[in-house]
Amino acid sequence: MNGTMTADELVAFAERLSRIAAAGEGISALAACLERTIGVPVAIDDARGRRLAGPTAIAEAWRLPIGDERTVFGTLIVGGENVGHRAAAAVRLAAAVIAPELARLRDGASREQTVWERLLEGAYPDADAARDDARLQGIAPAPQYLAIVLEYEPEGAAGSDGRSPVRSLALESFRNAAGDLGIVERGASLTVLVPISRDADAARARTAAQLFARSVARRRLSGLVHGGMGTVEPLASVRRSAEHARVALAIGRRLFGPGRISLYDELGAYPLLLRGADAPALRAFAARVLAPLRDYDRRHQTELERTLRLYFEVGENVKTAAERLSVHRHTVFYRLRQIAELTSRRLENPHDQLTLRMAVAIDALGDL
């Protein structure tokens, strides 16, 4: 932006900022107002470097600490290659208005629960109530979230600030542009709430989870990390995702040991066995596991589901299954490979085979 803002323009801008602050619209609204005025990307971090507003990735032109001589409450980050004096005046004015907002958030966090803690407790009656509370805390929530629960067992002493050393690594690994990332730390457990706006966000989170153990190794953290990833849930149902994540953590630690994050959706029958399940839950499980085969059979007039049932029925004897299906045994092998690909489960893996066998058995019982 070229030129210098006139006194009238600065006054008008200050009035807009004041109205936003008085209405309690939060940090994100103040950042957006500044961005519209100077025409370049704007972001705000708190004193710990957590992104409160603005894009996750930003090409920084300059950074302005927000606070006073005694305390820095956060940082105002301005993007763009050509940020002139006109923008500088607006940025400093915005920083003065943002400072008390950041101070209020910092002070309030020490006295009150954060929106993330309340979400994990199921305290909100609906998503609107959660969004209203989030807005007052300067948080821009996503429509859905995916919970990841991490437990770190250090070999030595904990950090001087009492925080888990995997906290900063989790922030780096799971942050994305879909919305604000949530972090709740309770003792040795760290719950990360990953914002999900599209299927691609969930896919990226799963990839990050698979790579997390390597990141821990690269940081040379001395200790063991256990993790579980829940299911994608609407904002007001974040608690359910966290519960699923804890179940995945418990099962994964027992079956696979430390050093990985187990995904609830990939554990198949084990959550049912651990927690118990009623008839509707069992039927839903069977339908979910067999759905890819049924959909493929319907679209391609194939017999993958029937092949899987016969394969189990004849004791995994491919020759006998081929005779019963009136096809060549190579056809059965090919179908079994298709089944593995469509269900993302390997028939030679005992855990995956248990899931498929249970789904077939439950479905055979009909309405129970």
Position 218 scores a pLDDT of: 74
Position 124 scores a pLDDT of: 84
Exposure pattern of 299-320 as b/e (b: 16+ CB <10 Å)? eeeebbbebbbbbbeeeeeeeb
Is it the case that residue 226 has pLDDT exceeding 60? yes
What is the three-state SS of the chain? CCCCCCHHHHHHHHHHHHHHHHCCCCHHHHHHHHHHHHCCCEEEEECCCCEEECCCCCCEEEEEEEECCCCEEEEEEEECCCCCHHHHHHHHHHHHHHHHHHHHHHHHHHHCCCHHHHHHCCCCCCHHHHHHHHHHCCCCCCCEEEEEEEEEEECCCCCCCCCCCHHHHHHHHHCCCCCCCEEEEECCEEEEEEEECCHHHHHHHHHHHHHHHHHHHHCCCCEEEEEEEEEEEEHHHHHHHHHHHHHHHHHHHHHHCCCEEEEHHHCCCHHHHHHCCCHHHHHHHHHHHHHHHHHHHHHHCCCHHHHHHHHHHCCCCHHHHHHHHCCCHHHHHHHHHHHHHHHCCCCCCHHHHHHHHHHHHHHHCCCC
How confident is the prediction for the chain on average, in pLDDT?
Answer: 81
- Name the strands in the sheet holding 144-154, side by side, starting at the edge strand that comes first in the sequence: 182-186, 189-196, 144-154, 223-234, 260-263
Is it the case that residue 221 has pLDDT exceeding 70? no
- CATH 3.30.450.40 range(s) for the chain read 7-111
Is it the case that residue 294 has pLDDT exceeding 90? yes
- E strand intervals along 47-171: 51-53, 60-67, 72-79, 144-154
Position 43 scores a pLDDT of: 81
Position 84 scores a pLDDT of: 59
Contact 42, 31 (CB under 8 A): yes
Position 132 scores a pLDDT of: 84
Is it the case that residue 231 has pLDDT exceeding 50? yes
Position 269 scores a pLDDT of: 82
User: What share of the chain in percent tops pLDDT 70?
Assistant: 82
Is it the case that residue 70 has pLDDT exceeding 60? yes
Position 324 scores a pLDDT of: 93
Is it the case that residue 299 has pLDDT exceeding 60? yes
pLDDT per residue as tens digits for the range 136-192: 777 888 899 999 999 877 654 444 344 566 787 888 888 877 778 888 887 778 899
Q: Which range scores top for mean pLDDT: 79-83, 87-91, 222-226, 323-327?
A: 323-327
Q: At what angle do helices 350-364 and 304-313 cross, to 10 degrees?
A: 100
- CATH 3.30.70.270 range(s) for the chain read 143-267
At 278, is the pLDDT very low, low, confident or very high (cuts 50, 70, 90)? confident
Higher-confidence residue of 81 and 147: namely 147
Position 191 scores a pLDDT of: 92
At 61, is the pLDDT very low, low, confident or very high (cuts 50, 70, 90)? low
Is it the case that residue 86 has pLDDT exceeding 60? no
Q: Say how far apart CA 119 and CA 105 lie, in whole Å.
A: 18
At 364, is the pLDDT very low, low, confident or very high (cuts 50, 70, 90)? confident
Q: Say how far apart CA 168 and CA 71 lie, in whole Å.
A: 22
Position 68 scores a pLDDT of: 66
Higher-confidence residue of 75 and 108: namely 75
Contact 325, 310 (CB under 8 A): yes
Q: What is the mean pLDDT of residues 202-210?
A: 89
Q: What are phi and psi of 358, to 5 degrees?
A: -65, -40
pLDDT per residue as tens digits for the range 316-331: 999 999 999 999 999 9
Position 48 scores a pLDDT of: 67
CATH superfamily of 7-111: GAF domain (3.30.450.40)
User: What share of the chain in percent tops pLDDT 90?
Assistant: 25
Nearest to 135 by CA among 23, 56, 273, 44: 23
Q: Which range scores top for mean pLDDT: 17-26, 94-103, 110-119, 291-300?
A: 291-300
Position 321 scores a pLDDT of: 93
Instruction: Name the CATH code of domain 143-267 (choices 1.10.150.570, 3.40.50.1100, 3.40.50.1360, 3.30.70.270).
Output: 3.30.70.270
Q: Does the domain formed by 274-364 have CATH 1.10.10.2840?
A: yes
Is it the case that residue 291 has pLDDT exceeding 80? yes
pLDDT per residue as tens digits for the range 13-53: 788 888 777 766 677 788 888 888 877 888 887 776 777 77
Position 334 scores a pLDDT of: 95
- CATH 1.10.10.2840 range(s) for the chain read 274-364
Amino acid at position 247, single letter: V
Is it the case that residue 265 has pLDDT exceeding 60? yes
Q: What is the mean pLDDT of residues 81-86?
A: 59
Contact 134, 123 (CB under 8 A): no
* pTM of the full structure: 0.56
Question: Minimum mean pLDDT among 100-114, 160-174, 236-250, 289-303: which range?
Answer: 100-114
Q: Say how far apart CA 138 and CA 24 lie, in whole Å.
A: 9
